[in-house]
Chains A and B, each alone.
Chain A
Amino acid sequence: MSVNESSRPSWMAAGGFPTGDRQIRLDCNRHRLGRIWVMLLRISTFLGLLVLGTLLYNVINSSFGFIVSRNAFSPELLVLEVSPHVKAGDSLRDAAAAVRNDADLIAIVPRGSEGSGLEGLQTLVLPLTDFEETFQLLAIASADNRVLAQATPADIEASLPVGGQWSDISKELSEVPVRLLLVPDDIGVMSAWLGSLDVPELSTLNKQQLTGVLGSHVSEGLIRRLERDQPFDSRSKENILELIQLRVVSPQIVASFSLGDTVLRRNQAEAVAAENLATLEFKSWLTRDFITDAQSSRPVLTGIRTALFGSLWVIAITIFFSVPLGIGAAIYLEEYSSHNWFGRIIETNINNLAGVPSIIYGMLGLVIFVRALNLLTSGALFGLVTEQESNGRTVISAGLTLGLLILPVIIINGQEAIRAVPNSLREASYGVGATKWMTVRHHVLPSAAPGIFTGAILAVSRAVGETAPLVVIGAATFISTDPDGPFSKFTVLPIQIYQWTSRPQPEFRHIAAAAILVLLALLLIINTTAVLLRQRYSQHRI
């Protein structure tokens, strides 16, 4: 390279090379500059690593941490309703008799108390434990917390004034003062009290009892709907328990904290919990239930099973479609046509296709697979659905779209692998009289296989994380049934993450983070497989 005028350093213009002290000074400066730049380069590289670290920290940080939660209805109370030492449905008089005998404390749970408030009262007689005798009437809360939510605290107080006496309610009752009245806002206190009782877990009840509990706490319409979905007789106990958790107990998250806050700002979390009379617990948002549960609209109860199955189905279709096709195209381009005009066109074309934004593939998929091939992709052609209700937004449309998306990547990687096979191998094969296909089949492909498969797996891992094209072709955002074939509706893991991230509530951020951990783990497994495959094959060859 010739040194032209403009690139000549400024000190040279002053006249000749510097000598003596001046040279030493200049050299020192040059080396100092060099050291400064090395620092800069190291810092840049460190920044790159820092970003990766921050990203992982950010996800893990949100996946675990304290939550402050409050049950809409205490599960202990449900157990007390049906467990032996509580006589649910006792009349107020019986309850009062119990009070007179100093045998028990009472919680009164009014049902349908919109009217005068007391006709429908149902009493629970609870065992006396370590409570002071002065607490005669302990709690009033509604069965489903909704009746009293409509009634104002003033309404309740009017019917059962604090500071009043039992005899105010009914003349037959004794003149024992009513000491504590709990209104819905204070339900946490009741939970805390119930927590101090030695009440068995909800899961210790049998199925019949659980069904009864569910039936007495939700509307008849909902029971009918549930019965229609699946008859209660054929439901498992776990299923009913889940329904009770969802519909009756229905834990509400008051506040949630990240892992960093959990460790560093414990006091703050405790303060929030105390303020809301709620329980503070450490929650890992990534649990086994989270992976095995179907989707639910409630962040605490939701799971990713549906999305996980959706992802697996879609990827299976993608692999079946694009891997054979991609490898075939790579073989054709490298072994059969690398020098003719058709080969050159495909070559240029593939390179351009690899640079097309993924969302464009989504639009292509929408027009071709979802709309034009509607009958095929919805399964109407095979009589699975009628033509009127055929909808092409199915697993197979998604799989084919992603297949087109990763096809160029598979082809390019495959070509590189095939190109790396030494020519001597081919010539030796031709030398002993093999045909072209024999040479490819028995010599080129086995030798290129590790490279081809590694490339294909990396391409597939890209498809696993792809979101935009699937949003465009219209993956369902909320379905709770698992996909059961190529023609079913579906959702995939990245779309779930997108949906949850887009919600404003902080709980959804946490489950999005947990889902991200699952997705990253899945990708890690896929990529590790690729690496192991490559190692295994290359050992075999030596």
Chain B
Amino acid sequence: MAHQQIYQTMQLEGATYFSAAPPLTKRRRWGEEVIQKVLWVCGAVSILTTLGIIFLLGQEALLFFRRQEVVLAKFLTGWTWQPQTLQFGIWPLVNATLGASLIAMALALPLGLLIAIYLSEYASPRGRSILKPILEILAGIPTVVYGYFALTFVTPVLRRTFGFDLVEVFNLASAGLVIGILVLPMVTSMSEDALRAVPISLREAAFGLGATRLETSVRVVVPAALSGISAACIVAMSRAIGETMIVAIAAGAGPRNFENWGEALEGLQALNPFQAAETMTGHIVRISGGDLSYESLDYDSLFAIGLLLFLLTLVLNIISRAIVKRFREQYD
């Protein structure tokens, strides 16, 4: 890097001005090389982690799919997850995961974006210096505390509001709303970063044309920051999908099974947010929380779910990075 350039310049200058002097050669410094190798190993650990995740999840999941009880097609299309009767259809778990995540997004996206606009476009520097740390505190609270909050506060409030018959003690809505609160700081701070990255000249041009502050924010700044904002949304979605403790505590212990697609979609039963349902992450935690034999079908099935979960979040993360890279507006 920098020192190489200097080194090259020195060599060049040596060649030009001091041609009589012996050429500068690079002496091998063993200490330096050892340090560089050690640091290289540190960097390589992260690669090993990724390879480990992919390899191990893949290997164990393969063990699962190789078993004769398991049919891949049924795994991908089935609506019953019942290891006791050897029925492994992933949809009840996926449905609950997506349901909770969508509820979370429905809360976190509008609220997060509005707060971000307020912080970036309206709040005074002093107001921002108070509000941002508070949001950071919210981001630093452990998820198990949010789980407690969901079960002991949000669920009772929902039950009192919508009726005790309609809303079950464990339900997807409560878990989803609290996941929304969990990802809110993330949506806010990422969106705010994107909004603040929009150059001030754009705002000034809009004001110069007679736009109000609202018109400037909504019609100029937000569109300009759209790539960053959508990346924030996708990362938040990925985080919501992978969230575990809240759903493990508040969403229920047991997949919401159906016979087939017809039954699941009949009267949109599968989408009822007020009933208990188990998400992918919730299922993994519940099953692995008990004493699990390493050779059992249950154990292997967890890794099939884990692999799906990993791929789902990985794809979302890659998409978000691609959006930022591809659609970023360059103003300078």
Contact indicator A328/B142 (Cβ below 8 Å) = no
A interface SS class: helix
Looking at the complex, which of A74-82, A447-455, A512-520 is the stretch in contact with chain B? A512-520
Is the beta-carbon distance between A356 and B6 smaller than 8 angstroms?
no
How far, in angstroms, from A527 to B133 measured CA to CA in the complex?
12
* A513 close to B53 (CB less than 8 A): no
B184 lies within 8 A of chain A by Cβ: yes
A351-B321, A357-B241, A363-B302 are known contacts. Are A329 and B39 too (CB-CB below 8 A)?
Answer: yes
Q: Is the CB of A359 within 8 A of B244?
A: yes
B317 touches A355 (CB 8 A): yes
B17 within 8 A of A: no
B145 at the A interface (CB under 8 A): yes
Q: Which of B29, B39, B135, B317 contacts A328 (CB 8 A)?
A: B39
B326 on the interface (CB 8 Å rule)?
A: no
Contact of A292 with B by CB under 8 A: no
The segment from A31-39, A379-387, A534-542 found at the interface with B is A31-39
**Interface stretch (choices B65-73, B76-84, B214-222):** B214-222
Whether the pair B49, A407 counts as a contact (CB closer than 8 A) is yes
User: Considering only CB atoms, which chain B residue lies closest to A372 in the complex?
Assistant: B56
A245–B285 Cα gap in the complex (Å)?
A: 36
Beyond A359-B306, A363-B303, A467-B245, is A512–B148 a contact (Cβ under 8 Å)? yes
Separation of A430 and B306 alpha carbons in the complex (Å): 49
Chain A positions within 8 Å of B123 at CB level? 45
B235 CB within 8 Å of chain A = yes
Contacts of A169 in B (CB 8 A): none
Known: A329-B39, A501-B151. A435 touches B281 (CB 8 A): no
A509 interfacial contact with B, CB 8 Å: yes
**Interface: A274 (CB within 8 A):** no
Give the size range of A's interface with the partner: 35 or more
Count of chain A to chain B residue pairs whose CB atoms are closer than 8 Å in the complex: 265
1/0 contact trace for B146-184 toward A, CB 8 Å? 111101110000000000000000000000000001001
Complex alpha-carbon distance, A423 and B143, angstroms: 40
Contacts of B3 in A (CB 8 A): 426-427, 430, 436, 439
Q: Is A468 an interface residue (CB 8 A)?
A: yes
At the interface, yes or no: A333 with Cβ under 8 Å from chain B?
Answer: yes
Among A52, A331, A426, the residue within 8 A (CB) of B138 is A52
Distance (whole angstroms) from the CB of A454 to the closest CB of chain B: 12
With A366-B288, A472-B285 as contacts: A467 and B144 at CB distance below 8 Å: yes
Q: Name A44-60 residues within 8 Å CB distance of B.
A: 44-45, 47-49, 51-52, 54-55, 58-59
B137 at the interface (CB under 8 A from A): yes
Task: Point out the residues of chain B lying under 8 angstroms from A7, CB to CB.
Answer: 219
Instruction: Among B140, B238, B317, find the residue whose CB has the most chain A CB atoms closer than 10 A.
Output: B140
Interface size class of B (residues with CB under 8 A): 35 or more
In the docked arrangement, what's the CA distance between A404 and B2, Å?
32
Query: Does B50 belong to the interface (CB within 8 Å)?
Result: yes
How far does the Cβ of B184 sit from chain A's closest Cβ, in whole Å?
6
Could you say which of B88-96, B256-264, B265-273, B308-316 contacts chain A?
B308-316
Which of A65-73, A132-140, A335-343 lines the interface with chain B? Answer: A335-343
- Apart from A335-B1, A357-B309, A501-B249, 14 more pairs, CB < 8 Å: A38-B214, A55-B146, A58-B153, A328-B39, A342-B43, A346-B46, A352-B318, A357-B243, A364-B56, A423-B2, A439-B3, A465-B144, A474-B288, A498-B245
26 contacts between A and B (CB under 8 A): A1-B220, A45-B118, A55-B141, A55-B146, A55-B181, A327-B42, A331-B39, A335-B1, A349-B47, A355-B235, A355-B238, A355-B314, A355-B316, A358-B244, A359-B285, A360-B53, A362-B288, A427-B2, A430-B6, A436-B32, A464-B142, A465-B140, A465-B141, A474-B288, A516-B148, A523-B140
Which residues of A does B touch, CB under 8 Å?
A: 1, 7, 30-31, 33-34, 37-38, 40-42, 44-45, 47-49, 51-52, 54-55, 58-59, 62, 324-329, 331-333, 335-339, 342-343, 345-346, 349-353, 355-364, 366-368, 371, 404, 407-408, 411, 423, 426-427, 430-431, 435-437, 439, 458, 461-462, 464-468, 471-472, 474, 477, 494, 497-498, 501-502, 509, 512-513, 516, 519-520, 523, 527
